[in-house]
């Protein structure tokens, strides 16, 4: 679980470094929450 979350967070950071697309960020963040709930 922690490794998975770290991977996802790293991907979010990488995307934010290259693009200031907050809509995309929100989509990724929402998917991350859903993924976390599914894993739990």
The structure tokens listed for 15 are 């995307």
**Cα(17)–Cα(24) distance, integer angstroms:** 13
Task: Find, among 20, 18, 7, 3, the residue nearest to 31 by Cα.
Answer: 7
| 35 has a pLDDT exceeding 70 | yes
- 2 against 22, higher pLDDT: 2
| 40 has a pLDDT exceeding 70 | no
**Cα(38)–Cα(1) distance, integer angstroms:** 11
pLDDT of residue 10: 87
Question: Rounded to 5 degrees, what angle do the CA atoms 7, 26, 16 make?
Answer: 60
Dump pLDDT digits (tens) for 5-34. 888 888 888 776 666 567 777 888 888 888
pLDDT of residue 21: 65
Q: Are 15 and 28 in contact (CB under 8 A)?
A: yes
């Amino acid at each position: 679980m922690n490794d998975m979350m770290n991977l996802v967070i790293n991907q979010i950071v990488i995307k934010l470094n290259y693009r200031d697309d907050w809509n995309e960020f929100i989509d990724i963040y929402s998917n991350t929450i859903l993924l976390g709930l599914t894993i739990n």
